[in-house]
Chain A
Amino acid sequence: MENSRAVTNTISNKKSFRRWIGSRKVQRWLILITFMTIPLILLFTFTYIPFAKMVQFSFYDMKYIGKRTFVGLANYKETFERSEIFGSLLVSLYYMGGGAVQLALALFFATMMAFKVKGEAFFKAALFFPYLICGIAVGFIFKFFYARGYVLDTILQMFGMDLEDIPFWLQDRRINNISLAATSVWRYMGQNVVMFLGAMMSVDNDLYEAASLDGANKWHQFRYIILPSIKSIIVLNLILCISGCLSAFEPPYVITNGMMGTGTYFVIMNRIAHENQRVGLASAMAIILLALIIICTVAQKLFFKYVFNDGTSDESKAAVRRRKRLEKAQRQRK
């Protein structure tokens, strides 16, 4: 009696299940279409159509409005031949140097804070806050900071330097790019500290205690506990730094307007595209930059694969070897 009821139950369940699945299918398509339409339209109109146009425009001599003439590879040739464009790539080397300094400093301060510090919240906030200030405001702050006779010069004079011995921070071609790159370090260093600190905090606290009980000093703790926990974030940031430095824009744009040899790639591209309206040339520049960034990213992927997988696979190989040796020994004993 009970058994048969159970059987009819499952049969009716099966029927409704079928109906259920039928309606599910319709629903599935409905949700796929409604949820994906807007993001995909946005993605195509603001990423892929512009990208396609960029490739197309790079072969034309054109303005935004008016006649277009096909010129083949002339824009690419001009990109490589214009000394200001090549010079701007050299300028981004300064920003890369700044980026390296920034990561090193961030690593140092994050490590300092990972060991117990009184007033950690204050230090963290003070270092991080510049990141939240908008690029234009940062530009003005440092225009004021570096201007002849203003903040930095006054501070140096307080320490007994003569105004004549102080260089022009923004005009002197030998140092103005360093001044500008320093503003980037000022702005982004704290953000790296917060990121590193986040990764370091994910390490179990017992580990530090155990280590100090075992007599490990601070350097050992840094070398064997902290550094491994943030290795991948450091590498990631190094790579992000490269593309970030290639696309540095706001410091020179606001502070020096790209004069005196401080024009970065984007400052010059912006001038060519929107002031001179040479859209074709600007597109060619954009594509060359994109190629550079893609090369860097691929290098990053390879680097990750090589550095991180290599370590683990070596370990497992060693483990496999050890196990085989053990098995062999056991067999021989038998």
Chain B
Amino acid sequence: MNTKKLTSIFFSIVKYLSLIAAAVVAIAPVCVCVLTAFKTNEEYASTSVLDLPKSFLNFENFVIAIKQANMLRGFVNTTLVLLVVLTVSVLISSMMAYVLNRFRFPGRGIIENLFLFASLLPGIAMQVTIYEIMNRLHLINHLYGYMIVLMGTDIISIYIFLQFFENLPVSLDESAIMDGCTYFGVFFKILFPLLKPAIVTSLVLKGVSVYNEYYASSLYLQKSELKTISTALYTFTGPYGNQYNYICAGVLITIIPILLFFLIFQKQVYSGMAAGAVKG
């Protein structure tokens, strides 16, 4: 009995120590950034990186970062992209999933496999030739061109909806049809409202990936007024390459919105991650 109690105490100690250590490692690099972001140039040059700044009300670096990297513009662009891409991709991928799940027609299997195979193709590699196509379609350096690219590479959402439709009983459709509903009515009036959990999942996964997307944005939005938040941040590699108090301020500016989002929608984010995992 006694040894059992001892081992369980020992186990608790190991458990908490390891978790605390992991949490420190996860948070510390960001915390150091917070410290540095509030330091003036002199402080930055003279103090150790782990010293506290004189005041946490020194927002000068943030102002410089916003001006220097044109980050407000980046926020506006990213918000626009998020709004359009998320709306359209929820609509078209749920529609596609509805058709694939509820109808049997020639070529259905082929189409499903085409989507499946497409999810194997590595994104960055495909951009080598997508760039050529974008060039031909004159979509480079237009915000809508970038939006279209992001919508076009949206396969995970379709899978999330397909999975969800599997669990929605067909009798729902049938009874609505008996009541004289058209297929369009069935989808928009009956099924779409029921898709809410799947919509939340796909919004979370797609939203995070769009907000953090860098590569396509750097290729297709090269003008400075078209930069999104991540490409705007990347401009810090240039002239301010070693002025880490500015860079840290910029980094924090990009982190704050997503931190707020995460704190508010924690539950949805976790369940979205779990659902995304089952996809296979």
Contact = CB atoms under 8 A, between A and B. Distances in A.
B219 to A, nearest CB: 7
Contact of B133 (A36, A50, A145): A50
A140 B128 contact: no
B124 A266 contact: yes
Given A51-B126, A64-B135, A43 B270 contact: no
B128 A112 contact: no
Given A123-B23, A144-B244, A154-B49, A39 B125 contact: no
Contacts of A27: 182-184
Given A38-B92, A43-B115, A135 B212 contact: yes
A158 to B, nearest CB: 8
Contacts of A140: 233, 236, 247-248, 250-251
Nearest to B271: A198
Contacts of A113: 19
Contacts of A158: 50
Interface string A137-162: 10011101101001100110010000
Range class of the A interface residue count? 35 or more
B266 A125 contact: yes
B211 to A, nearest CB: 7
A127 B131 CA distance: 36
A162 to B, nearest CB: 16
A45 B128 contact: no
Interface residue SS majority, chain A = helix
A123 B22 CA distance: 8
B111 interface: yes
Nearest to A57: B129
Interface in B197-214: 208, 211-212, 214
5 contacts: A122-B23, A127-B22, A133-B254, A186-B25, A274-B131
Given A45-B133, A144-B33, 14 more contacts: A31-B183, A42-B151, A50-B130, A133-B212, A137-B230, A141-B33, A142-B29, A144-B247, A145-B29, A147-B244, A199-B277, A283-B128, A286-B125, A293-B122
